């Protein structure tokens, strides 16, 4: 596994969860952080407080729930778009690798906590997800002196499951035919999201240990 060193050297960075020499790599370039993908990532961060206000003040009405869902979905779309543009335009930067998962965690963390405070989503799921997300963020921060730990494919799948779960809890599915049956999808999707959250946490710890070991081997 190669990384972007603290001095800004460009190296191939193997995604966590892929065997050395067998997986895809992310090419990180020492270039300006001001580009469209990073602007979209920053915009997603700015949407979070607006979403939080709508979530905590307007969920007692159908219009409020749909508005919260719309803001959340828009922010999730920018997550897909910024990653696509960064790869297509070869604009993957150190800022993007760090800021993108932080923006994701801020958005989903706000959603899970808000929905639990409102009594719409069980606290056990929110607690497990928050512990994992904070733990992985701290792990990334601790490893900065060795290199950058980007999001894995499993991490992206985890994010997708979490986002779908949040969207289902935001929408007033009880009002939709047939007789609110769509609301029964919420708990199974939430359980899937929690399982993926725990599994990918283990994968990140393994990837972090590998990164630290290889960084130390490079020094010795």
Hey, what domains does the chain have and what are their CATH numbers?
12-219 (1.20.120.1760)
Higher-confidence position of 164 and 26: 164
- Residue 18 pLDDT exceeds 70: no
Per-residue pLDDT tens over the stretch 176-215: 877 678 899 999 999 999 999 999 999 888 888 887 787 7
Quick one: pLDDT at residue 56? 96
Residues facing residue 27 across a β-bridge: 12
Q: Report the chain's mean pLDDT, rounded to a whole number.
A: 81
Residue 175 CB neighbours (<10 A): 11
Quick one: pLDDT at residue 194? 96
Percent of the chain having pLDDT more than 90?
43
Per-residue pLDDT tens over the stretch 28-61: 555 567 788 888 889 999 999 999 999 999 999 9
Quick one: pLDDT at residue 36? 85
Residues facing residue 26 across a β-bridge: 13
Quick one: pLDDT at residue 118? 96
Per-residue pLDDT tens over the stretch 80-137: 888 888 888 887 887 887 788 788 889 999 999 999 999 999 999 999 999 998 988 8
Q: Which two tokens stand for residue 202?
A: 């283990």
Tell me how many degrees the CA angle 93-196-59 measures, rounded to the nearest 5: 85
Residue 44 CB neighbours (<10 A): 25
In angstroms, what CA-CA distances link 207 with 64, 80, 159?
Answer: 41, 23, 18
């Amino acid at each position: 596994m190669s990384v972007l060193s603290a001095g800004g050297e460009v190296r191939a960075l193997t995604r966590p969860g892929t065997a050395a020499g067998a997986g895809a790599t992310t090419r990180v370039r020492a270039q300006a952080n001001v580009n469209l993908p990073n602007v979209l990532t920053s915009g997603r961060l700015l949407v979070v407080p607006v979403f939080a206000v709508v979530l905590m003040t307007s969920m007692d009405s159908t219009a409020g729930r749909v508005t919260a869902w719309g803001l959340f979905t828009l922010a999730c779309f920018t997550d897909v778009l910024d990653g696509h543009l960064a790869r297509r335009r070869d604009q993957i930067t150190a800022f993007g690798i760090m800021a993108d998962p932080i923006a994701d965690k801020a958005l989903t963390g706000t959603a899970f906590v808000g929905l639990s405070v409102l009594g719409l989503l069980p606290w056990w799921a929110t607690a497990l997800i928050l512990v994992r997300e904070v733990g992985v963020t701290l792990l990334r921060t601790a490893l900065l002196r060795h290199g950058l730990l980007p999001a894995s494919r499993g991490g992206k799948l985890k994010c997708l499951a979490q986002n779908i779960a949040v969207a289902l809890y935001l929408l007033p599915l009880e009002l939709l035919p047939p007789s609110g049956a769509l609301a029964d999808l919420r708990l199974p999707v939430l359980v899937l999201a929690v399982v993926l959250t725990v599994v990918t946490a283990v994968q990140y710890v393994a990837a972090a240990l590998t990164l630290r070991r290889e960084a130390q081997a490079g020094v010795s």
